[in-house]
Structure 1
Amino acid sequence: MSVPTPERHGRLSRLHKISAATGAAAVGVTAIAFSVVPGQKDSGNDTAGSEPAAQAIALQTAADSPATQKAGIDAQTTAADGRARASAEKAARKKAEARAKARQEAAEQAKKAERERQRKQAASRSAERAASPSGSPKQIARQIIGSEKQFQCFSNIVERESGWDVHAQNPSGAYGLVQALPGSKMASAGPDWRNSAATQIKWGLGYMKDRYGSPCGAWSFWQANNWY
């Protein structure tokens, strides 16, 4: 048996180290191959990942069930009924408001028409009294003249001229309540001037208005001159 030289001994030592390293690497690769096999998943990770998918499937199944679909339809129907009811109530309120407004306007129109009717009726009665006055000569004069102030002025003159005597006659030819001169002038107011207080008053009132502006104007002149 030969004794290895130092040089040979060094080469053998390096070969042993390389062989040991190669074996260790092979063991590591084998371990890795067994621990991670292509296409194989960790059982724990696979379980955790499958939970969301299972939940989604369960939710979809519940959503597709007849009971869920019916509940959705019922909810939509209820909402539609609510909207229709609200719309109908709104329309009913508007209709009621329109009816109330129409009734109010009709009532106002009726009041206005009644006031106008009363006004026309009063005017008609006044015209009738003026056209066909009745009563004593003084009452007839009040009806024809209308204004109490103008009537008082007219009355002051007639009281002094004739004392309200329809047939009062002056030697000068003046005649009647207002002592028209001549009395026949009053025929312009009516053919019954000799006996009608209304005809004499109408003529005398027209004369006072034409010459003095009003019975009160004539009365002012009479007070200053004792005639008019």
Structure 2
Amino acid sequence: MRATLEGNRVSRISVRGFAVASATAVTTVGAVVGVAAGDDKKSPEPVETTAAAADATLLAEIPAGQQAQAQTVSLSQQAEIQSTAADAEAKKAVEEAARKQAAEDARAKKEAAEEAERKAKAEAARKAKEREEQKLAASRSATRDASSFPQQSSYTVAEVQAIARQLVPADQFQCFSNIVNHESTWNYRAVNPSSGAYGLVQALPGTKMASAGADWRTNPATQIKWGLSYMNERYGSPCGAWSFWQANTWY
């Protein structure tokens, strides 16, 4: 079969070459004769036109069976190309879907880890706060009551500070001391000339301290008791009050 096709191909090529050569020769001779005779008629067709006509004639001479076989081979090649393209497209779609799923899984995993971390931190903060409150409550219960101190006619700074150390929890004493030192320099009779604030913690008005004892004017223990209660209720502790004081210079 191949030998036959090759033979036909050679034959077609040979015939085409002969046709082209013949046409060229005829055209050339005609042109020369026309020029020589002074003929003003239209020149003969170009060589390519004649060759194309000859080539078309040769193609028409290919047997019908060989033409059908060539068409079948062409259709098979097209089907194979289309199948390969479809496979590549399907593979690309699968890879893209896998990539998107992996990205979604990674995002969900990250969010779950962040949520778990947030909950763990919140729980740790809650437990720490509970421990601090329990510790503060224990410290408060361990301190002496103001009424347990015998009242004196006057008190030195050292004596007032000694009373404060027994009434204020140890871990809060320094903060309490910082505030009192700024407010009254440990003078339990200190009066603010402009506002009228009174005592160690400069209660405004001073009569507020009556809730801790009727001797609030002259008894530093009563003033300390009231000041400690005020700081605990308003700021959570003397250290909380001291933090606020540092930011605002009052509490």
- TM-score for the superposition, normalised by structure 2: 0.39
Bigger relative contact order, structure 1 or 2 (CA pairs below 8 A, ≥6 apart): 2
